[in-house]
A and B are shown apart, each in its own frame.
Chain A
Amino acid sequence: MKKETLIAVIFGIALGGAVALFILIKGKDFELTKNKIISPKDAGRQEAIDQPVRVDFQVLEIQSPLDGAITDKKSISITGKVQKGSLLVIQSPVGDEVFVADKNDFQFDFPVALGENVIKIVAYPQDKTIRPQEKDLKIYYLDSEL
């Protein structure tokens, strides 16, 4: 193949690509201007003003242990995430723990009794307008099972 032919083919492909891209972008703009907005223009904006979205808010998460887990130890380590400054209340038939989370992660040791241990973890955010969050864990301390 001659050099001139090769250059012509490359230019042809590049030009074709550019035209296709132009049509694609302009076509989308045209579609957007053509479609009518059904809801009032400011509806979404007003809603956003009424209910500010707290993208930075850390909801209560328990990372370990898993619900229903079996342990062969008298104490377990509970780890998770919560909004900094929340009051955490953890209660089970054999233990109580109350503390304020000084960062978004928490970790503490919690006692368990032989058999089933129902543990309720409740986080009361510092911002009192936000509802408390709850998590329930069932941990089984069964020494002959592991």
Chain B
Amino acid sequence: MKTKIVNYLLVLLAVLILVSPSFAQTASPSASPTGEAEDSAIEQLKEKVANKVTEIRRKNNKAVAGTVVTKNAGNLRIKTNEDVEYEIKLDDALTKYFQILGVKKQEIEVEDIEVGDYAIVTGVQADNSITANTIFIDERFLVMTGKISQVDKENFTLTVVTTAKEQIDLDIESSTKQSMVNIKTNEAEVSGFTKIKEGDTIHFVVSRPLNSKEGSYSARKVLIIPQEYFLK
């Protein structure tokens, strides 16, 4: 038995002696074609990673918009349509301010921003705090849908119950773009106020000026789906 153990140990020792030089070897630097190919592959990989990072950044680049509720030196607070508040940290050197005017934007100063303005903020977001890169002051639009419950043909107003069960009075102005779905072709066509009926479904766009009467809006555009569509 003792000789067996000694034999095993000898064999193990021999194996270790044979294997150890290969572990001790280090790669010698060389300008061989294999090395160049490796460098090229590494460069390609780096490029791919950089492209992927840019692509992900583009995909995840998001903005937050809301109404300015407080303004102090160095920060703002905005409240989104979903009633979420964000603290906006302003940086004298970094943050830029713009006012959107139709299809153009104009650079403004932080002093031009007022409580009640609708601000779009981009920057580094951590929970409910954003270090602003850029702040755009824009007009706030609401896009909603609902059912027409009342048509006032004298005052050109519509009473609408939205899908959120909110009652809204809509003023149809001469500038309001009106269209209606043709139930035969399923295409939107230019329409007029006289064709609108109680029970029709309405899609509409309004802007919300601060001094607007609660629940009353001037419609920018309306799209009607006649009730007959749902009886087909």
Contacts and interface: CB of A to CB of B under 8 A. Distances in A.
Contacts of A119: 143
B203 A66 contact: no
A122 B64 CA distance: 23
B186 A87 contact: yes
A46 B37 CA distance: 70
Interface string B180-196: 01000011100000000
B156 interface: no
Nearest to A128: B230
B143 A91 contact: yes
A98 B181 contact: yes
B61 interface: yes
Nearest to A92: B143
B173 to A, nearest CB: 15
Given A87-B186, A114-B104, A118-B141, A96 B65 contact: no
B55 to A, nearest CB: 12
Interface in B181-217: 181, 186-188, 203-205
Nearest to B58: A146
A130 B106 CA distance: 47
A46 B210 CA distance: 53
B212 to A, nearest CB: 16
Given A98-B186, A145-B122, A93 B203 contact: no
Contacts, number: 103
Interface string B143-180: 11100000000000000000100000000000000010
Interface residues of B, number: 44
Interface in A97-117: 98-100, 113-116
A136 B205 CA distance: 13
Interface in B93-143: 98, 100, 102-105, 118, 120, 122, 133-134, 136, 138-143
B62 A115 contact: no
A20 B62 CA distance: 57
A142 interface: yes
From DSSP, what is the main secondary structure of chain A's interface residues?
Answer: strand
Contacts of B203: 89, 91, 120, 122
B186 A100 contact: yes
A61 interface: no
B62 A120 contact: no
Interface of A: 66, 68-70, 87, 89, 91-93, 96, 98-100, 113-116, 118-120, 122, 124, 128, 134, 136, 138, 140, 142, 144-146
Interface of B: 58-65, 98, 100, 102-105, 118, 120, 122, 133-134, 136, 138-145, 163, 179, 181, 186-188, 203-205, 220-221, 223, 225, 229-230, 232
7 tightest A-B CB contacts, nearest first? A115-B138, A68-B62, A115-B100, A140-B63, A120-B143, A98-B188, A93-B141
Given A70-B61, A70-B63, A145-B134, 7 more contacts: A91-B223, A96-B188, A115-B139, A116-B65, A118-B142, A142-B134, A144-B105
